[in-house]
Amino acid sequence: MTVLEWIPEQLFELMPATLAFAAFCACYLLYGRYSKKRAASGKRTRIATQLGFVSISLIGLTAFILTLPISETTKGQLLSLIGIILSAAIALSSTTFIGNAMAGIMLNSTNSFKIGGYIKVGDFGGRITERELLHIEIQSEDRNLTILPNLYLVTHPYRIIHSKGTIISVDISLGYDINRKQIEKCLTDAAVEAGLESPFVQIMGLGDFSVSYRIAGVLKEVKQRVTAQTELYKCVLDTLHDKQIEIVSPTFMNTRAQPQSSQSIPKTAHHLPEEEKLLPIESIVFDKAEEAETKESLQQKLKKIREGKDKLTLMLKTSQGNHDKQAITSRIANLENIEARVAAALTKLENS
């Protein structure tokens, strides 16, 4: 057999494998575009997308081997080898990779937390920026990112801050020589000034030298938790000093080289300018979490808009009167305008 005869014959034998490989690449690319569109509309999670890519890869590899111009025995041996490799990989990484994947699926099915929400597990806490098949990423109050395996979350109790409100509190110790009712009034006023709702004061303990108080209140806007905590400290400090209540402990007062009647309260500085309203701390420390939450919110909004358009389209097909059709058509056009603006904002956010 000449070379000119051998080459076409080999190409013909490799044709099925080549077509299988081309089909795999085409399916991979098409699924990638499809997943991107579904993710943009909020109809598909990243975990589902990753599982889809893994499934396509396994099916494509199997189809490629089955179409190779080799004997059935060799094909069986190759498939057995792949099976052994997969089994060994699963066995060796069952406590990590597979465990994290199963934990990710479980957490995704329970849907107990979402992007942008506050979470605390063990010594780690912050706002969620990413949810993946194997891990989640949180941004802590020092602006750093922490990646936690999903297996760690399902094996440790985690605390989620309620999206409809949380309790902000400050603990403080004051002397026995100050009337309890006066202190409770001052602390309650400080909580109200800090913007907290339903403030309450607790006595946490009666020590040898001082009484431990806790002032707490409900913060509705949980995104401003860090800022609200700082504001509460400021208001407690200012309110107690304005009422001439000394915050230092009596032990300090008894051991310092000063008259017993003196007080450690700073004098009011009338010449200082009024304190400026600073930007919320969260806009600095939780920048990635804010961006991720905004993106998630836009995706959910797009999903609802498109569902509304689908319902209106069905109503348009079944409506009889011209007046009803015009009203439905107008509503569809309004939704399309809103959809275009939301899609543009989402695209700008993804490209930034």
Q: In whole angstroms, what is the distance from residue 341 CA to residue 278 CA?
A: 31
pLDDT at 250: 55
20-67 pLDDT, tens digit per residue, is 788 888 887 888 787 777 666 555 566 677 777 888 888 888 887 777
Of 68, 92, 116, which one is at a domain's C-terminal end?
92
- Do 115 and 182 have their domain in common? no
- Do 186 and 275 have their domain in common? yes
- Do 274 and 330 have their domain in common? no
Confirm whether 169 is domain-assigned: no
pLDDT at 216: 92
- Do 202 and 265 have their domain in common? yes
Q: Do residues 107 and 100 lie in contact, with contact meaning Cβ atoms separated by under 8 Å?
A: no
- Do 77 and 108 have their domain in common? no
Question: Is residue 254 very low, low, confident or very high in pLDDT (cuts 50, 70, 90)?
Answer: very low
Q: In whole angstroms, what is the distance from residue 240 CA to residue 247 CA?
A: 8
Confirm whether 16 is domain-assigned: yes
- Please tell me the total count of domains within the chain: 4
Question: Is residue 285 very low, low, confident or very high in pLDDT (cuts 50, 70, 90)?
Answer: low
Average of per-residue pLDDT across 218-224: 84
Phi, psi of 213 (to 5 degrees): -110, 155
Supply angle C-alpha 193, 194, 196, rounded to 5.
Answer: 100
- Do 198 and 291 have their domain in common? no
Confirm whether 165 is domain-assigned: no
pLDDT at 237: 92
Identify the residue with better confidence: 135 or 17. Answer: 135
- Do 276 and 199 have their domain in common? yes
Residue 141 sits in a domain whose CATH number is 2.30.30.60
Q: How many helices (H) and strands (E) does the chain have?
A: 11, 8
- Do 206 and 275 have their domain in common? yes
- Do 275 and 322 have their domain in common? no
- Do 301 and 224 have their domain in common? no
Q: In whole angstroms, what is the distance from residue 56 CA to residue 48 CA?
A: 12
Confirm whether 29 is domain-assigned: yes
- Do 154 and 226 have their domain in common? no
- Do 69 and 107 have their domain in common? no
Residue 205: CB atoms within 10 A of its CB come to: 12
Domain carrying residue 143: 102-160
Of 54, 69, 92, which one is at a domain's C-terminal end?
92
Long-range contacts for 48-54 (Cβ within 8 Å, ≥24 apart)? 50/132, 50/133, 51/133, 53/28
Q: Do residues 119 and 131 lie in contact, with contact meaning Cβ atoms separated by under 8 Å?
A: no
pLDDT at 203: 92
Confirm whether 170 is domain-assigned: no
Identify the residue with better confidence: 12 or 329. Answer: 329
Q: In whole angstroms, what is the distance from residue 233 CA to residue 239 CA?
A: 10
